[in-house]
Amino acid sequence: MGKLINIDNGGTLTDVCVIDGNQVYRAKTLTTPHDLSRCFFDGLTKASRAIYGKEDLIGLITSTDHIRYSTTQGTNALVERKGPRLGLIVTGTMTVDSLKKDPRQAELFDALVGSRVASLDLKLTGSDLEIAAVRAVNTLSSAGANRVIVAHGGSDRAEEETRVKNLLLRKFPQHLLGAVPILYSHEVVADEDDVRRTWTALFNAFLHPAMERFLYNAEHKLRANKAQKPLLIFRNDGNSARVAKTIALKTYSSGPRGGMEGSRAMAAHYNFKHLLTMDVGGTTTDIGEVREGNVRADSRGQVEGVPVSFPLSDIHSVGVGGSSIIKVVDGKIKVGPQSVGSAPGPACFGLGGTEATITDAFLVLGLLDPESFFGGDLKLDTERARNVIQERVAKPMNLSVEAAAEAMEKAWVEKVASSLKEFTTPDKEAVLAAFGGAGPFVVCKVAEAAGISRVLIPGLAAVFSAFGLGFSDIGHTYEAPLRGRDSKALKAVSEELQDQATRGMYAEGFDIKDCEVESHLLVQGKTIDERRPLANGSLPSDLPKDALLSVSLSSTRRIPHPTLKGAFGGKKVEAVSGAKRKVGGKDLPLYRVEEQKAGASAAGPAVLEEAYFTGRIDAGWKFEINNSGDILLSRG
């Protein structure tokens, strides 16, 4: 078996995790938003040095079976509203008002589409219909639309949208259609809910251009470097697929889903019944949950509160991270949601940043070592951190720099902890998994504020979402509406989906006979939204008369996963501290994770540090490091 490479591209940092049998190598590099392929290959090159002791990019790539990639760039583009100007043509019963029923939908619609809307009456025939259709496209393109979506309301959506498609293909020259793509909602997903399907098509059209340019460029460069297999995109449903077989919306929030796949594996390995997760990156904190081995998810997910047609993990993203801007507003400290990202980054990075962040605060308080941060690859500038905190926080609040840094920490902790409590109610069995580069910083304080007494810091915490991609397989899910309520209709749609799955897996390089195939009946009504297994080829007898019915078929090809090992609660040894660190004016013992034996344990207050993360262990807490390098913190 060859190597497995997982890459998680975030707004501030890009993480690389290389799995070679039982050995795991990791690398981190600053994200280069102006050219994502640069940080992609910088990370691979850095990983090759860790493996071979020298740069050998081609050697790494040619010895690898699969490269899986996830990115938050689509999510960030939507958050920042940076994307194409969309135009919308509505037909049938579809109306703009139905897409703007609540304030969240209205705000998003105004940001993505605005007034670029046209209505097309499909009762027209002949030249009248042709003239109306051409006028609609010309009106939208003249208004600035560079992508047009056609959405029909009604059960005949596929037929009517196809009729419009054939008409427009005849009337417009190919070069114009290439400049202004015209997309059709039924080709994105076969969802009976017209509003949800239209929103899904709008989101997908908005995210597609940036994702397409980068991903195909990255795949081309991989082939130039002798890659044997196509780049796989990790999706928000927990599986991976080729670039050409993945729609853009499936990349939304895919990075956090990688962390959830890793958390599910960890929860099963350590028998944690309730694992609450806190993935703290540079820009956001992504909060999720695993209960009884299941990742908390919605059968029909939401994007910024707007329902879409695909399943999505129920992950709560909060605008607070290691690079979140902290400032004083109306006499109070405000944390995020704006972030300085990696360019220019926190002031202490010395790359031109002029805003205060929690990273600057932890440097001033002494928690971070300016020489060892980021594995020693990024030297921090304490003086710049002090100056920016003085200017942005201390002076407006009439505090010393140190007092201002402590106030910044308190506000940062309160925002993260309150978000955890809003997301779920921690019970006695709850364990908080803290990962991401900023996850372990002051996790004891966060856990206390959230009422949690146990914390898991994975040994690969700094690259845990990238590591979690390794638990995904190659798979696709297909869906189609059920046209009748009898075995004949069920058989027809099942055969149609089976054919799609056969072709889809063949395109991935696999025979459907070597894949796991599962079918489900999707039942949606006013008071019901269920997903029922279809095992015997017959419909249940208790279906509501007014429910919309669809059939979903998933095909999965299993590929190798990482092997977890390690246990807690065995023989303990005294952790070894070879130095002290002055944090908040107090000398605390410093424990380097890499220097500890299996079972190493000690009590706080202390500082726990490894190459890519630093955590403060507060008084009343103790830690245990097992033979996998995973760390369990316990209170009391």
Q: Residue 495 has which token pair?
A: 């055969």
Mean pLDDT of the chain: 90
Strand partners, 298: 312
pLDDT at position 611? 86
Q: In what order do the strands lie in the sheet with 474-481?
A: 23-30, 13-20, 3-9, 64-71, 232-234, 240-242, 474-481, 548-557, 516-524, 529-533
Give, as one character, the DSSP assignment of residue 97.
Answer: G
| Residue with tokens 């107090």, as numbered in its chain | 586
| CA-only gyration radius of the chain, Å | 26
Most confident of 193-202, 476-485, 524-533: 193-202
3-state helix, strand, coil in the chain (%, to 5): 40, 30, 35
Summarize the confidence of residues 91-117 as an average pLDDT. 95
Q: Where are the beta strands (DSSP E) in 134-211?
A: 147-153, 182-184
Neighbours of 261 (CB within 10 A): 23
Helix (H) or strand (E) holding 414: helix 401-423
Q: What is the pLDDT of residues 404-428, one digit of tens each?
A: 999 999 999 999 999 999 999 998 9
Confidence at 394, pLDDT banded by 50, 70, 90: very high
**Residues 151-180, mean pLDDT to the nearest whole number:** 84
Rounded average pLDDT over 214-221:
82
pLDDT surpassing 90 at residue 618? yes
Q: What are the tens digits of pLDDT across the range 320-348?
A: 989 999 999 999 999 988 888 777 889 99
Q: How confident is the model at residue 9 (pLDDT cuts 50, 70, 90)?
A: confident
Q: Are 36 and 27 in contact (CB under 8 A)?
A: no
Q: Confidence band (pLDDT; 50, 70, 90) for 580?
A: very high
Distance CA(104)–CA(115), nearest Å, equals: 17
Helices (H), 225-381: 254-270, 358-365
Confidence of residue 176 (pLDDT cuts 50, 70, 90): low
Let me know: does 338 contact 325? Beta carbons within 8 Å: yes
Q: How many CB atoms lie within 10 A of CB 321?
A: 32
Confidence of residue 177 (pLDDT cuts 50, 70, 90): low
Question: Any idea which residue has 């007014």 for tokens?
Answer: 546
613 exposure class (CB count in 10 Å sphere: 0-12, 13-18, 19+): buried
Residue 565 CB neighbour total at 10 angstroms? 11
> Which pLDDT band holds residue 173 (cuts at 50, 70, 90)?
low
Tens of pLDDT, residue by residue over 512-526, are 999 999 999 988 877
DSSP secondary structure letter of residue 85:
P
The residue among 577, 589, 594, 586 whose CA lies nearest residue 617 is 589
Strands (E) located in 330-429: 332-339
Q: Please report which confidence band the pLDDT of residue 185 belongs to, taking 50, 70 and 90 as the band edges.
A: very high
Residues in CB range of 355: below 8 A, 6 or more apart: 325, 326, 327, 340, 346, 347, 388, 392
CA distance 100 to 199: 10
Decide if 53 contacts 82 (C-beta within 8 A). no
Bridge partners of 533, per DSSP, are 520
The pTM score is 0.85
> Taking a C-beta distance cutoff of 8 angstroms, is the pair 394, 403 a contact?
yes
Backbone φ, ψ for residue 588 (5° rounding): -115, 145
Which of these, 508, 28, 9, lies nearest to 211 by C-alpha position?
9
The type of residue at 628 is S
Phi, psi (rounded to 5 degrees) for 440: -80, -10
Percent of the chain with pLDDT over 70: 98
pLDDT tens by residue, 430-459: 999 999 989 999 999 999 999 999 999 999
User: How many Å apart are CA 497 and CA 380, to the nearest integer?
Assistant: 55
Band of residue 190 on the pLDDT scale cut at 50, 70, 90: confident
Contact 92, 149 (CB under 8 A): no
